[in-house]
């Protein structure tokens, strides 16, 4: 169930072997509701907001966020989609999926943009996104919302709104969708045959969690009962009123 199409279609032909499910659909929904409230609190309402989802993982989350903002505040917030492939510093010719184009419905000049992505990792995608946004007008402010912040930043970028802080190893893979958050390892495509996986990824993919897994979060979370995401919300989430 976690081997969703987006991951199994990786260019290197590998698939995600899930180790544990950290958030379920209800947890993702609760986190989005909290983020929606935080966005409205920070910006004193939804006026001038534009929500922009990063292709492709950020788009479904951005769609949900827009619906929630409208539900809570009664204001229709424009939704944009941004593909940053042409702005990356590691221009990779990744398989181009049909429909994965940029669509920014309004001029961003003077607006507050809430950039939405699924996972914040090195920060390079967000850097590319900031360059891409600049070509669509001079936003008054850009805020960043992510479902998972997994650390390992390589650039001075931090999120404004976080669904869950999730300490990870660099070689782990985090899969986020509106159906949940899964952590696992990449392995060769052949299902059920984890040995001799691709170089770089440990051969012991499927069985028990590795010793150094995620100090902060319980590594043995059973697939059915993910740890609670909402209450203790991340420490560095949105100091109210702090610009930049």
3-class DSSP state for residue 85?
Answer: helix
Shortest Å, Cβ 121 to other proteins: 12
Contact stretch for other proteins (CB under 8 A) within 37-45, 63-71, 80-88, 232-240: 80-88
**Nearer to other proteins by C-beta: 98 or 241?**
98
Assign 144 to helix, strand or coil. Answer: strand
CB of 211 to other proteins, least distance (A): 26
Output the six-digit token pair for 232. 């203790």
Q: Which of 74, 199 has the CB closer to other proteins?
A: 199
86 binds other proteins (CB under 8 A): yes
Residues 6+ apart with CB under 8 A from 128: 84, 87, 88, 89
Contact of 69 with 39, CB cutoff 8 Å: yes
164-167 long-range Cβ contacts below 8 angstroms, 24+ apart: 164/22, 164/23, 164/31, 164/229, 164/234, 165/216, 165/234, 165/235, 165/236, 166/22, 166/214, 166/216, 166/217, 167/214, 167/215, 167/216, 167/217
87 contacts other proteins (rule: CB under 8 A): yes
> Residues 9, 26, 101, 190: which binds other proteins (CB under 8 A)?
101
Among 3, 70, 131, 179, binds other proteins (CB under 8 A): 131
Q: Measured from the CB atom, is 46 or 104 closer to other proteins?
A: 104
Query: How many C-beta neighbours within 10 Å does residue 1 have?
Result: 9
Q: Which of residues 153-212 bind other proteins (CB under 8 A)?
A: none
Rounded Cα–Cα distance for residues 20 and 220 (Å): 7
Q: How far is the CB of 89 from other proteins (least distance, A)?
A: 7
* Binding segment (CB under 8 A) for other proteins, from list 100-108, 140-148, 202-210, 220-228: 100-108
Query: Does residue 73 contact residue 45 with C-beta atoms inside 8 Å?
Result: yes
How many residues bind other proteins, per CB under 8 A? 21
Asked if 56 is part of the footprint of other proteins (rule: CB under 8 A), the reply reads: no
φ, ψ dihedrals at 131, nearest 5°: -60, -45
Q: Which one of residues 9, 76, 103, 198 is an interface residue with other proteins (CB under 8 A)? A: 103
- Which residues are at the interface with other proteins (CB under 8 A)? 83, 85-87, 89-93, 95-98, 100-103, 131-132, 135-136
């Amino acid at each position: 169930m976690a081997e969703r199409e987006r991951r199994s279609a990786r260019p290197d032909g590998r698939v995600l072997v899930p180790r544990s499910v950290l958030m379920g659909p209800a947890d993702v929904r609760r986190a989005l509701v909290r983020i929606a409230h935080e966005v409205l609190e920070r910006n004193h309402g939804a006026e001038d907001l534009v929500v922009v989802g990063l292709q492709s993982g950020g788009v479904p989350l951005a769609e949900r966020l827009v619906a929630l903002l409208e539900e809570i505040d009664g204001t229709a917030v424009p939704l944009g989609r941004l593909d940053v492939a042409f702005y990356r510093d590691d221009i990779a010719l990744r398989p181009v999926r049909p429909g994965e184009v940029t669509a920014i419905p309004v001029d961003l000049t003077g607006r507050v943009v809430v950039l939405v992505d699924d996972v914040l990792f090195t920060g390079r995608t967000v850097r590319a996104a900031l360059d891409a946004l600049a070509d669509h007008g001079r936003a008054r402010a850009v805020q960043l919302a992510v479902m998972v912040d997994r650390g390992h930043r390589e650039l001075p970028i931090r999120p404004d709104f976080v669904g869950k802080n999730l300490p990870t190893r660099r070689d782990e893979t985090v899969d986020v969708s509106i159906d949940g958050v899964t952590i696992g390892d990449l392995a060769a495509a052949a299902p059920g045959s984890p040995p001799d996986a691709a170089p770089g990824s440990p051969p012991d993919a499927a069985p028990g969690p590795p010793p150094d897994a995620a100090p902060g979060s319980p590594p043995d979370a059973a697939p059915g009962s993910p740890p609670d995401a909402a209450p203790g919300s991340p420490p560095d989430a949105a100091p109210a009123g702090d610009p930049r």
